[in-house]
Amino acid sequence: MQEYETTYVIGHKNPDTDSICSAICYANLKHKIDGKKYEPARAGHINEETKFVLDYFDVPAPRLIENITTQVKDIEIRKTKGVCKNLSIKLAWNMMQEHDIYTIPVVSEGAVLEGLITVGDIAKSYMNVYDSSILSNANTQYSNIIDTLKGSTVVGDGAKYFNQGKVLIAAANPDMMESFIEKGDLVILGNRYESQLCAIEMEAACIIVCEGAPVSLTIRKLAQARGCTIISTPYDAFTVARLINQSIPVEFFMRTDHLIAFEDTDYIDEVKDVMASKRHRDFPIIDEDGKYMGMISRRNLLGAKGKPVILVDHNEKNQTVEGIEHAEIKEIIDHHRIGAVETISPVFFRNQPLGCTSTIIYQMYNEANIEIDQLTAGLLCSAIISDTLLFRSPTCTEIDKAAALNLASIAEIDPEEFAEEMFAAGSNLKGKSIEEIFYQDFKRFTAGETSFGVGQLIATNRSELEALQEDMVPFMEKARERHQMDMMFFMLTNILTETTGLICAGSGARQLILDVFGEEYDEAYESEHIIRLPGMVSRKKQLVPKIIMALGE
pTM value? Answer: 0.69
**Which three-class secondary structure state does DSSP give residue 552?**
helix
At residue 360, the pLDDT reads 98
Upper half-sphere CA count for residue 299 (Cβ side, 13 Å): 6
Q: Same structural domain for residues 10 and 77? A: no
Q: Same structural domain for residues 84 and 182? A: no
Q: Same structural domain for residues 256 and 242? A: no
Q: Same structural domain for residues 32 and 17? A: yes
At residue 125, the pLDDT reads 75
Q: Same structural domain for residues 539 and 458? A: yes
Q: Within a domain: residue 273?
A: yes
**Which three-class secondary structure state does DSSP give residue 322?**
strand
HEC secondary structure over 379-393: HHHHHHHHHCCCCCC
Name every residue whose Cβ is closer than 8 Å to that of residue 193 and which is 6 or more positions away in sequence: 216, 219
At residue 236, the pLDDT reads 95
Q: Same structural domain for residues 57 and 81? A: no
Segments in 70-153 forming alpha helices (H):
89-99, 119-127, 134-137, 142-148
Q: Within a domain: residue 340?
A: yes
Q: Same structural domain for residues 120 and 167? A: no
Q: Within a domain: residue 221?
A: yes
Strands 63-64 and 103-107: unpaired
Q: Within a domain: residue 134?
A: no
Q: Within a domain: residue 236?
A: yes
CA pair distance 459, 425, nearest whole angstrom: 9
Q: Which of 263, 286, 302 is the last residue before a domain boundary?
A: 302
CATH code, domain carrying 474: 3.10.310.20
CA pair distance 34, 281, nearest whole angstrom: 41
Q: Same structural domain for residues 274 and 373? A: no
Upper half-sphere CA count for residue 450 (Cβ side, 13 Å): 18
Q: Same structural domain for residues 120 and 217? A: no
CA pair distance 196, 298, nearest whole angstrom: 54
At residue 461, the pLDDT reads 67
Q: Which of 236, 268, 302 is the last residue before a domain boundary?
A: 302
Q: Same structural domain for residues 452 and 522? A: yes
Q: Same structural domain for residues 112 and 256? A: yes
CA pair distance 546, 342, nearest whole angstrom: 25
CA pair distance 206, 201, nearest whole angstrom: 12
CA pair distance 139, 130, nearest whole angstrom: 17
CA pair distance 166, 182, nearest whole angstrom: 8
Q: What string of pLDDT tens digits covers the 553 residues of the chain?
A: 567 889 999 999 989 999 999 999 999 999 999 999 999 999 999 998 999 999 999 999 999 999 999 999 888 888 999 999 999 999 999 999 999 999 999 999 889 999 999 998 888 777 766 788 999 999 999 999 999 999 999 999 999 999 999 999 987 777 778 888 999 999 999 988 999 999 999 999 999 999 999 999 999 999 999 999 999 999 999 999 999 999 999 999 998 888 899 999 999 888 988 888 887 888 999 998 889 999 998 888 877 788 999 999 999 988 999 999 889 999 999 999 888 788 888 899 999 999 999 999 999 999 999 999 999 999 999 999 999 999 988 889 999 999 999 999 999 999 999 998 998 888 777 778 888 889 888 989 988 889 999 999 887 766 776 777 778 888 999 999 998 999 999 998 888 788 898 999 999 998 999 888 877 776 645 567 788 899 888 888 889 999 999 988 7
**Beta bridge mates, 531:** 502
CATH code, domain carrying 190: 3.40.1390.20
Integer CA distances (angstroms), 175 to 165, 181, 197, in order: 20, 11, 12
Q: Within a domain: residue 132?
A: no
Q: Same structural domain for residues 237 and 260? A: no
Q: Which of 426, 442, 461 is the last residue before a domain boundary?
A: 426
For 46-83, give one letter per residue: b (16+ CB within 10 A) or e: bbbbbbbbbebbebebbeebeebbbbbebbebbebebb
- Residue 478 lies in domain: 434-552
CATH code, domain carrying 278: 3.10.580.10
- How many structural domains does the chain have? 4
CATH code, domain carrying 420: 3.90.1640.10
At residue 441, the pLDDT reads 85
At residue 121, the pLDDT reads 86
Q: Within a domain: residue 49?
A: yes
Q: Within a domain: residue 522?
A: yes
